[in-house]
Amino acid sequence: MHLPDFLIAAFVYLAAAVIAAPLATRLGLGSVLGYLAAGVLIGPAVLGLVGSEGEDVMHFAEFGVIVMLFLVGLELQPSKLFELRKPILGLGGLQVMGTTAAIGIAAYGFGVDWRAAVATGLILAMSSTAIVLQSMNERGLMKTTAGQNIFSVLLFQDVAIIPILALLPLIATSTAATHDEASLIASLPAWAKTLAVLAAVATIVIAGRYLMRPLFRFIATSGIREIFVAFALLIVVSITLLMQFVGLSAALGTFLAGVVLAESEYRHELEMDLDPFKGLLLAVFFMAVGAGINFNLILAQPFQLLGLVFGFVIIKLVVLYGVARIMKMKRENASVFSFSLAQGGEFAFVLISFALSLALLSATQAAMLVAMVALSMTLAPPLMILEERFIQPLFARGTVPQPADQIDDSASVIIAGHGRFGMTVGRMLQARGFKAVVLDHDAEQIDALRKFGFKLFYGDASRVDLLEAAGARTAKILVVAVDEREKILEIVAVAAKHFPNLQIFARAFDRVHAYHLINLGVKNVYREVFSSSVDMGEQVLVALGQHPFEAHRAAKTFKHFDETILHETAQHTGDLDKLVDIARQSRAELSRVLAGDRTTKPLNIDQAWEDNDGRS
């Protein structure tokens, strides 16, 4: 293929993605279905804008799947997996094994070879993470029992894709040799191949645990984000080449690396930097799948295809409902659980391509499976609407879904900046048992504080995607305590615009900086030296002979008065004459208030204000 042909094909794919995703989202179909539809439209079956070069584009787009599995690994912290081991292994394991067995037996009963039947069962056991999670969020069901169980199954499926990719070559017959010949260790004896594979896996684990963190820290200190992105891509490409060298799946290696780095403080930054590449490449991948659908086959056997789709959906519904009831889910929750997961998923396309390359499936079987999965994904939103409107009312009315514990890493407080200001806030919250997600852009600071047991993540808190990953959608409070005046204003502006649910507590360097924050809508502004200077003033009054109670009362009155004046004058930031007038009036008024307060003697002064030496 000539380079211009590839560039033209790339242009067509990107243009289709730009049009398809927003349109499909507006129609409530989800971006994945939009990409599939766009692929069908630009493919040979309709407009014919792309043809044979689509195969070359598919090889390029498959890198998006590798990046996606790396990001999936980053989400699967070992601690989280251990915490959710029962719902994940119980529900997820039963669902995948039950669906695989039921569909595999049905396929074998129709005369399909047992190897192809097993592959078909594994492929159709997957559900659409993109469609299901989007639908659950829109319906507000993620915090319910059914929603948490659905999330557990989807999480298990994401993890299960790795052993499935490792299993399929073991049951293949003709491509095991071809797969081996592609590696550079094909000529080695079996024991040497095994050692090479173990060495490659050990290299990924050891490098991820002991080498990557210092390298990330070194690169982060440069402050050049592009180098950080380049290093993240370099990791993925390096692991891909290493896996090809030993003849293993690149997806397996990158997933393992993601799990190893899941506990790293750079996890969120890696996710945010690689996510655009993953999204773009996956968009092209799904469009390439759509363009590759064999419509001649579908048109030749339309009733057979529809029968297979409905049969597959019904089998999956029955298995899912049975698994839910075995795990003692209530009937109404079991219904939501079953109808939400009764479709094929994005990973099915990956497995179909892989099984086809291993000759486990014929071209005809692969084309039929692609069409079945695509149609079942199209049916997913109507199925969920059907269940919500017509099946849920059949169960006992008035049942309130029981809330479930959060299963992610989010907290009610996000602290941006953990230096001399933010650290004090974090320590107080930690001492009172409140979890906080801490973001900081100083790699050396993060490295030092992690030694003291703080859980911090590297990243720029002014980025919407990083705040999103830190849980800004569900958090209650954002504490902005970074050491840069302009960066504080930037973070506050971004958070106020994209996360109106957050109550913002912001550090101010001085009075003028406080004015800017107040004008951005921040009600909780804390000048970094104001409180400590008022505290000092209180102690000076005590040293001059005033009673500790009187000094404390004066300090409290002064603080309240100054905060009131601060908010009143913020609207006149650009009017110097007005500010001068207000300052003069406020000084005179403050003197009158404090003088009047001093003449009012308390009837009974609590001696607890004094210690044994008569000091406060």
DSSP 407-458: -SS--SEEEE--STTHHHHHHHHHHTT--EEEEES-HHHHHHHHTTT--EEE
The amino acid that residue 220 corresponds to is A
pLDDT at 121: 92
DSSP 245-259: HHT--HHHHHHHHHH
The count of C-alpha atoms lying within 13 angstroms of the C-alpha of 440, restricted to the half-sphere facing its C-beta, is 27
Mean pLDDT score, 10-25: 72
pLDDT at 344 over 90: no
Tally of CB atoms within 10 A around 139: 15
Q: Which residues contact 104 (CB under 8 A, 6 or more apart)?
A: 117, 118, 120, 121, 122
Q: Which residues contact 438 (CB under 8 A, 6 or more apart)?
A: 414, 415, 418, 422, 426, 454, 455, 456, 457
Task: Let me know: does 355 contact 388? Beta carbons within 8 Å.
Answer: no
DSSP 490-539: HHHHHHHHH-TTPEEEEEESSHHHHHHHHHTT-SEEEETTHHHHHHHHHH
pLDDT tens-digit map of 536-574: 888 888 888 888 888 888 888 887 777 777 777 776 666
Cα–Cα distance measured from residue 100 to residue 103, given in angstroms and rounded to the nearest whole number = 5
The residue among 502 and 24 whose pLDDT is bigger is 502
Task: Let me know: does 337 contact 384? Beta carbons within 8 Å.
Answer: no
pLDDT at 83: 64
pLDDT tens-digit map of 574-612: 656 665 666 666 665 656 655 555 555 554 555 555 554
Mean pLDDT score, 355-374: 84
pLDDT tens-digit map of 472-526: 888 888 988 888 888 888 888 888 888 888 899 988 888 788 888 888 888 888 8
Lowest mean pLDDT among 105-114, 121-130, 347-356: 347-356
Q: Angle at Cα 457 formed by Cα 451 and Cα 461, nearest 5°?
A: 140
**Placement of tokens 């008035």 in the chain:** 398
pLDDT at 217 over 70: yes
pLDDT at 406: 35
**Is this prediction's pTM over 0.85?**
no
pLDDT at 405 over 50: no
Biggest alpha carbon–alpha carbon distance for the chain: 100
- Cα-Cα end-to-end distance for the chain: 84
Q: Quick check: do 3-392 and 410-528 share a fold?
A: no
**Placement of tokens 């042909």 in the chain:** 5
Tally of CB atoms within 10 A around 25: 14
The residue among 113 and 145 whose pLDDT is bigger is 113
Greatest mean pLDDT among 159-163, 382-386, 596-600 lies in: 382-386
Return the closest-CA partner of residue 97 out of 112, 118, 81, 79: 118
Compute, in degrees rounded to 10, the torsion defined by CA atoms 332, 336, 338, 340: 180
* Mean pLDDT over each residue of the chain, to the nearest integer: 75
DSSP helix/strand/coil, 362: coil
pLDDT at 562: 77
pLDDT at 383 over 90: no
Q: Angle at Cα 267 formed by Cα 264 and Cα 270, nearest 5°?
A: 135
Greatest mean pLDDT among 220-229, 317-326, 414-423, 448-457 lies in: 317-326
Question: 495 vs 225, 412, 600, CA distance in Å?
Answer: 21, 15, 45
Structure tokens at 429: 């919250």
Task: Let me know: does 341 contact 153? Beta carbons within 8 Å.
Answer: yes
pLDDT tens-digit map of 253-278: 777 777 777 777 777 777 777 777 77
Lowest mean pLDDT among 63-67, 458-462, 555-559: 63-67
Q: At 478, which helix (H) or strand (E)?
A: strand 477-480
pLDDT at 229 over 50: yes
DSSP 539-601: HHHHHTT--HHHHHHHHHHHHHHHHHHHHHHGGGTT-HHHHHHHHHHHHHHHHHHHHHHHHS-
pLDDT at 98: 92
The residue among 128 and 9 whose pLDDT is bigger is 128
Structure tokens at 176: 């095991």
- CATH 1.20.1530.20 is held by the domain 3-392: yes
DSSP helix/strand/coil, 141: coil
The amino acid that residue 141 corresponds to is L
pLDDT at 527 over 70: yes
Question: 412 vs 7, 200, 506, CA distance in Å?
Answer: 47, 40, 16
pLDDT tens-digit map of 182-202: 455 556 666 676 677 778 778
pLDDT at 221 over 70: yes
pLDDT interval class at 101 (50, 70, 90)? very high
Which contacts qualify for 301-309: CB closer than 8 Å, 24 or more apart? 305/368, 305/371, 305/372, 305/375, 306/375, 308/368, 308/372, 309/372, 309/375, 309/376, 309/379
- Write the Ramachandran bin of 100: left for phi over 0, alpha for psi from -120 to 50, otherwise beta: alpha
* Domain positions in the chain: 3-392, 410-528, 530-616
Beta bridge partners of 477: 413, 503
Cα–Cα distance measured from residue 234 to residue 281, given in angstroms and rounded to the nearest whole number = 16
Q: Taking each helix axis from N to C terminus, what angle separates 363-386 and 129-138, rounded to the nearest 10 degrees?
A: 10
Report the CATH superfamily, name and number, of domain 410-528: NAD(P)-binding Rossmann-like Domain (3.40.50.720)
pLDDT at 321: 92
pLDDT at 93 over 60: yes
Structure tokens at 283: 């968009």
Beta bridge partners of 503: 477
pLDDT at 318: 93
Structure tokens at 253: 């290696």
Q: What are phi and psi of 413, to 5 degrees?
A: -130, 135
Cα–Cα distance measured from residue 498 to residue 472, given in angstroms and rounded to the nearest whole number = 9
What HEC string does 541-557 produce?
Answer: HHHCCCCHHHHHHHHHH
pLDDT tens-digit map of 34-60: 777 777 777 776 776 666 555 555 566
DSSP helix/strand/coil, 144: strand
Cα–Cα distance measured from residue 387 to residue 392, given in angstroms and rounded to the nearest whole number = 6
pLDDT tens-digit map of 413-440: 888 887 778 888 887 877 777 778 888 8
